[in-house]
């Protein structure tokens, strides 16, 4: 294999952008002893660019242990001149059949011990309920991925009709419909103006069957999290209302995370421009920025990690130096689980990508590589122990 290809695969993993095929290819590279010299040179080059605080968080012996877990190589003496940098850099990701990279900073050695998985839990799926203005509820097919709101009808995004009892008059009304995803559910909807919306788990979107141009604005209401690709219409701004803020756009791509249990609303802009307003506060966002409105109604603008903001839409969890309690809030929504902590919460920090399409046992096994936490799964209850 050419060294250039190895470097490409390595960088794809560090960026969290490797495809499933590239992940499998990189796993084979790591286990090919004939490529160790090339891997060493490539990893050495990136080793010196790692932030100091990240390097201090990785003990040499621990990183080698993680590397051995990654590659499946049994513990054995190694030449210190060859492996330290490769092991440290390799511990940025754990290669599994599910195809992820994961990295943890070690605050302590923690305790070893296997997880207790009495029963496994499947990941979330495409599922949602549509409630019409006349009160009819429709459980949308979990074999489809999205809903299209037409001028006088509803259809799935493959063209299949969605049976309903709404009259023509009701379909032309501006009264709000609602699309709700449960814990463990996600769904896409194309609104009547062509705007695409992806709903994350435990979220709700209220919208009219048709937007009234005479009203001037296209208004929807959101709870939870959604990603928007708004159809351009300069004469009719698109407004997203949440419990804490309003976001006004003309045509753009952005993500809003406004779960009520966090007390924080975060709007991340990928393309175009948006105006964010809260209680007596307002500001404009540029692409690559995010607006954070906290529980005390303080609004601040910060640079955004765009991959992190939309990872859920692209089929991944993406964590950035967060403790296990925050990780579990996200997992609880997607796997529809009850989370219980037994003893103090670990201060271990976790960062990385995990596929949302794998069973919970695989996710928990990755998290427990740190040895700072271990898990017990019984029914839909997950207990976290140090």
- CATH of residue 340: 3.55.50.30
Torsion of CA 212, 218, 219, 222, to 10 degrees: 130
From the number of C-beta atoms within 10 Å of its C-beta (0-12, 13-18, 19+), residue 126 rates as middle
**Residue 87: its pLDDT value, please?**
41
Domain of residue 77 covers 3-95
pLDDT greater than 90 at residue 223: yes
Q: Percentage of the chain surpassing pLDDT 70?
A: 77
Length of the chain: 386
In the structure encoding, which two tokens stand for residue 342, read together?
């037994």
pLDDT at 147: 97
Q: Is 103 within the bounds of a domain?
A: no
End-to-end CA distance of the chain, in Å? 42
Q: How high is the mean pLDDT of the chain?
A: 80
Which of 277, 310, 343 is a domain's end point?
A: 310
Per residue in 175-212, pLDDT (tens digit) is 789 999 999 999 999 999 999 999 999 999 999 988 87
For residues 181 and 296, state if they share a domain: yes
Tell me if 104 is assigned to some domain.
no
Place of tokens 């470097």: 7
Q: Is the pTM value of this prediction over 0.95?
A: no
Structure tokens given for 146: 């999205």
Residues 88 and 31 in one domain: yes
On whether both 368 and 286 belong to a single domain, the answer is: no
* pLDDT at residue 328, as a whole number: 96
Q: What is d(CA 5, CA 383) in angstroms, rounded to the nearest whole number?
A: 42
The least confident of 94-98, 245-249, 304-308, 336-340 is 94-98
Flag whether pLDDT at 152 surpasses 50.
yes
pLDDT greater than 90 at residue 80: no
Which CATH number covers residue 171?
2.60.120.1440
C-alpha atoms less than 13 angstroms from C-alpha of 157 in its C-beta half-sphere: 16
Number of structural domains (the chain) is: 3
CA distance 151 to 274: 27
Same domain, 212 and 181: yes
For residue 296, is it within any domain?
Answer: yes
């Amino acid at each position: 294999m050419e060294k250039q290809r190895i470097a490409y695969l390595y960088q794809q993993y560090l960026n969290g952008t490797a495809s499933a095929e590239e992940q499998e290819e990189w796993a084979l590279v790591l286990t090919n002893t004939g490529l160790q010299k090339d891997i060493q040179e490539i990893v050495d080059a990136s080793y010196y660019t790692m932030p100091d605080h990240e390097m201090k968080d990785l003990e040499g012996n621990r990183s080698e242990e993680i590397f051995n877990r990654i590659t499946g190589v049994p513990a054995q003496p190694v030449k210190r001149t060859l492996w330290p940098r490769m092991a440290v850099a390799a511990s940025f990701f754990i290669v599994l059949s599910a195809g992820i990279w994961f990295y943890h900073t070690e605050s302590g050695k923690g305790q070893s011990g296997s997880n207790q998985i009495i029963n496994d839990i499947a990941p979330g799926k495409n599922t949602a309920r549509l409630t019409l203005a006349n009160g009819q509820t429709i459980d949308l097919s979990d074999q489809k991925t999205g809903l299209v709101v037409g001028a006088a009808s509803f259809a799935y995004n493959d063209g299949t009709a969605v049976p309903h009892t709404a009259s023509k008059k009701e379909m032309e009304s501006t009264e709000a419909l609602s699309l709700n995803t449960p814990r463990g559910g996600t769904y896409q909807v194309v609104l009547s103006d062509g705007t695409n919306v992806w709903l994350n788990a435990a979220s709700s979107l209220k919208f009219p069957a048709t937007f009234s141009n005479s009203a001037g604005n296209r208004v929807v209401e959101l709870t939870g999290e959604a990603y928007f690709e708004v159809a351009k219409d300069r004469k009719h701004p698109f407004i997203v209302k949440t419990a804490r803020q309003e976001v006004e756009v003309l045509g753009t791509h952005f993500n809003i995370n406004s779960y009520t249990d966090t007390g924080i609303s975060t709007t991340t802009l990928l393309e175009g421009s948006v105006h964010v307003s809260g209680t007596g506060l307002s500001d404009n966002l540029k692409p690559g920025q995010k607006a954070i409105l906290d529980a005390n109604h303080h609004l601040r603008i910060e640079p955004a990690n765009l991959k992190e903001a939309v990872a859920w839409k692209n089929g991944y969890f993406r964590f950035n130096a967060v403790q296990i309690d925050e990780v579990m809030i996200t997992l609880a929504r997607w796997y529809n689980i009850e989370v219980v902590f037994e003893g103090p919460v670990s201060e271990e920090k976790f960062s990385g990508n995990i596929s949302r399409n794998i069973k919970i046992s695989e996710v928990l096994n990755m998290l427990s590589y740190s040895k700072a936490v271990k898990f017990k799964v019984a029914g839909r209850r997950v207990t976290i122990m140090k």
